[in-house]
Structure 1
Amino acid sequence: MSADDRRLHGLDLARYLALAGMVLVNFRLALAVPAEGTSWLAGVFRLLEGKASATFVTLAGLGLVLATQRSGWMQASMQTWRRAAFLLALGLLNLTLFPADILHYYAVYFALAVLWLRASPRVLLASIVALAVVSFWALLHWNYSEGWNWQTLEYAGLWNWPGAVRNLLFNGFHPLLPWMCFFLLGMLLARLLLSQPRVQLALLLLGVLLLGAGQGVQCLAQGTPWQAWLGTQPMPPGPAYVLTGAGAACSVIAACLWLTRVHPGDWLEPFTAAGRMTLTLYVGHILLGMGTLEWLGLLDGSASLPAVLLWALLFLMLATGAAWLWSWRFARGPLEAVMRRIAG
């Protein structure tokens, strides 16, 4: 297996782990179980919240650059815009079922990413910092709670233009400010020689440092008027969250690249097969996973965190097996194949 093949397997494994984290978080949201308390399980759920999806978005930016790096700018731009349109349509349909949908945000990330397709690493890094600064300014000067009912997590005016724009840009589940930072981070990482051991080690160390910096900012803000804006939780997404989200993404990607390089083998196939069809499995965990939970009458808030873990692991086990079997005959997942046919 070549170094490039191992790199791709590492990225597929990272996508799978990011999806698994999102399934855990989203099942907890669907089952209306708070991640409170001092138990280790509550700590795991709080750790995953916002970090798995940040890793997912970072990998999307990385994958976009890898998929278009051999194409001219115009060809790459048109393909990216077509995929953005596909994701927007799919995401809006999904939004009618699941208010925390990420796909319609993805569409905006992809559409805007065209501006940075041929940007240098320095420009990408400067853009990440600038977006993070603007995001923090917006948190301090705009009303983050506008539109939200925090008890029910319902958003008033979501399907009207002012509310939709506000949700998409500023105070939705995965708003452009600051989530575009993670997408640009992925585009920046795609410029690195990710198959090189020294690069993997440096990326892992960077991830750990960013995680530590984010936790440090949160600790320093405890008991100050800035506490609400400098936590590591994704809502509101302040600077500490951006640091820890980026750190989690770098750490997971580096660890998966290292693991597939040091321990290649057939044991990876079920996970990398699922990692190649995360779009299908993301939609599947909402339609089939949450649909089953609703059919069983479990979406009433009566479940516990161990029950959330059990249902999420059961779905992941079935989804991983199904993806592995599908990969024996098809190179892409069902939705991935449809997007490829429609958008290129």
Structure 2
Amino acid sequence: MNKRIIGIDVARALAVIGMIIVNFKVVFGANGLSWVKSVASIFDGKAAATFVVLAGIGLALMTNSAIQKNDQDKLKIVRIRIMKRALFLFIVGISYITIWPADILHFYGVYMLFVMLLLNAKKSTILASVITFIIVFPILLIFWNYETGWNFETLNYEHFWSFNGFIRNLFFNGFHPVIPWTAFMLFGYWFGKQNLHDNKFVKKIFWISLICFILIQLLSYTTILLLSGGNQESVNELTQILGTNPMPPLPMYMFTGIAVSSFIVSACILISKRFENSKLVDALYKTGQLALTFYVAHVIIGMGIIEVINSNKIGNYSIEFSVIYAIAFSFLCILFAIYWRKHFKSGPLEWVMRKVTD
């Protein structure tokens, strides 16, 4: 039996912490020191992409044994488990979407169903599917208006609970739409089917992803600069199309997300293997095992505390407050994970999910 790859859980912890920073600054406020804004913006779209890629890796690790042995009975059991977990995450995400419209979990449920359709597919077919999801999105933009339903000033989505509005948000223009975001989970599934115990392969991915990330940034920056001719209005318009911002999720952003997530995961695998006995690595490893719990907790508890203290000021806090609060909350999550894992095998919400779906 292969030893658990602790670097994957370490990467999961970092992704959750990154999402907490991004979401707290979106909700509480982001005005203030420009350098703090610049540092915090590094996580925009990248932490969430990494979180989804890691979910794909998790699905691969769950299914690899049954697929390699061609154990159809075990594969059937795994398929049913994935379907149940997809439904569980969809329901959990929808249950608090009125207080957190940018939820990612209900999207997860649908991504997982697409991965389930490709469980037995060849690695080349999975990668082709990744590319397909990425390319289909800009084609849809030709026919549909991405801004339909949105008030980008308030981030409110009109008619979300109507059938057409819900489907449009889910598949096309929500915060993490199924097209093209499923590509992240499919890429993670492909990644997880590789031999992640092989240092040579992981190092190769580390360098390739780093080089790809740098090249994409350079391509994006120089293309915008050349085409705009230095005109600021043109720069703003071209950034929407050729930039690496997560909304709309165009190919530049999608490939950036894949490169960043590959870099983070491979780096975490290599570092965690080298410093396996480090207290920091152990703390992050335990935090990553409770990632689902902390994702929900940062909305219910983290945002809830500020709502109770001073709901009127939400949206008007400084970027310094948002980032410091996010770091403090993340630190408390790490301490909780260390304590919890001393007494329990899995996190509270992870335990509920396993009870319901296994």
Structure 2-normalised TM-score?
Answer: 0.91
- Alignment match, 1:186: 188
Tell me whether 1:14 sits opposite 2:22 in the alignment.
no
Q: 1:25 aligns with which of 22, 25, 50?
A: 22
User: 1: distance between equivalents of 2:151 and 2:270?
Assistant: 43
Rg larger for: 2
- Alignment match, 1:244: 256
Which SS does the other structure have where 2:246 is aligned?
coil
User: 2: distance between equivalents of 1:343 and 1:213?
Assistant: 42
Unmatched tracts of structure 1, length 5 or more: none
Q: 2:211 is aligned with what amino acid?
A: L
Q: By how many angstroms is 1:131 displaced?
A: 1.1
User: 1: distance between equivalents of 2:319 and 2:2?
Assistant: 40
Tell me whether 1:290 sits opposite 2:285 in the alignment.
no
User: 1: distance between equivalents of 2:138 and 2:216?
Assistant: 14
User: 2: distance between equivalents of 1:3 and 1:109?
Assistant: 27
Q: By how many angstroms is 1:217 displaced?
A: 3.4
Q: 1:237 is aligned with what amino acid?
A: P
Two-structure CA RMSD over aligned residues (Å): 1.7
User: 1: distance between equivalents of 2:141 and 2:36?
Assistant: 30
**Deviations 1:27-46 (Å, cap 9, x if unpaired)?**
01110325x87x33222222
Structure 1-normalised TM-score?
Answer: 0.94
- Alignment match, 1:328: 342
Tell me whether 1:86 sits opposite 2:88 in the alignment.
yes
Tell me whether 1:42 sits opposite 2:66 in the alignment.
no
**Deviations 1:303-323 (Å, cap 9, x if unpaired)?**
111111110011011111011
Q: By how many angstroms is 1:3 displaced?
A: 7.0
Which SS does the other structure have where 1:70 is aligned?
helix
Which SS does the other structure have where 1:296 is aligned?
helix
Q: By how many angstroms is 1:116 displaced?
A: 1.1
**Closer, same or farther in 2 for the Cα pair 1:135/1:163, shift >3 Å?**
same
Q: 1:270 aligns with which of 273, 283, 301?
A: 283
**Deviations 1:254-287 (Å, cap 9, x if unpaired)?**
1100101111114122211110011111000011
Q: By how many angstroms is 1:213 displaced?
A: 3.2
**Deviations 1:318-339 (Å, cap 9, x if unpaired)?**
1110111000011100110111
User: 2: distance between equivalents of 1:310 and 1:227?
Assistant: 29
Contact 1:214/1:241, CA 8 A, preserved across alignment: no
Contact 1:15/1:59, CA 8 A, preserved across alignment: yes
User: 2: distance between equivalents of 1:87 and 1:3?
Assistant: 28
Unmatched tracts of structure 2, length 5 or more: 67-73, 229-233
Q: Which stretch of structure 1 is more off in the superposition, 209-218 or 42-51?
A: 209-218
- Alignment match, 1:117: 119
- Alignment match, 1:62: 57
User: 2: distance between equivalents of 1:142 and 1:211?
Assistant: 29
Q: 1:230 aligns with which of 238, 242, 252?
A: 242
- Alignment match, 2:135: 133
Q: How do 1:304-343 residues align onto structure 2 when only pairs under 5 Å count? A: 304-343=318-357
Contact 2:293/2:347, CA 8 A, preserved across alignment: yes
User: 2: distance between equivalents of 1:230 and 1:262?
Assistant: 38
Q: 2:95 is aligned with what amino acid?
A: L
User: 1: distance between equivalents of 2:146 and 2:55?
Assistant: 26
Q: Which stretch of structure 1 is more off in the superposition, 15-24 or 197-206?
A: 197-206
* Sequence identity (%): 34
User: 2: distance between equivalents of 1:221 and 1:247?
Assistant: 20
Which SS does the other structure have where 2:96 is aligned?
helix
Q: By how many angstroms is 1:221 displaced?
A: 3.0
Contact 2:306/2:314, CA 8 A, preserved across alignment: no
User: 1: distance between equivalents of 2:15 and 2:158?
Assistant: 29
**Deviations 1:44-75 (Å, cap 9, x if unpaired)?**
22221000000000000010111122343322
User: 2: distance between equivalents of 1:73 and 1:213?
Assistant: 40
User: 1: distance between equivalents of 2:209 and 2:252?
Assistant: 13
**Deviations 1:123-163 (Å, cap 9, x if unpaired)?**
01111111111112123332110000011000001111101
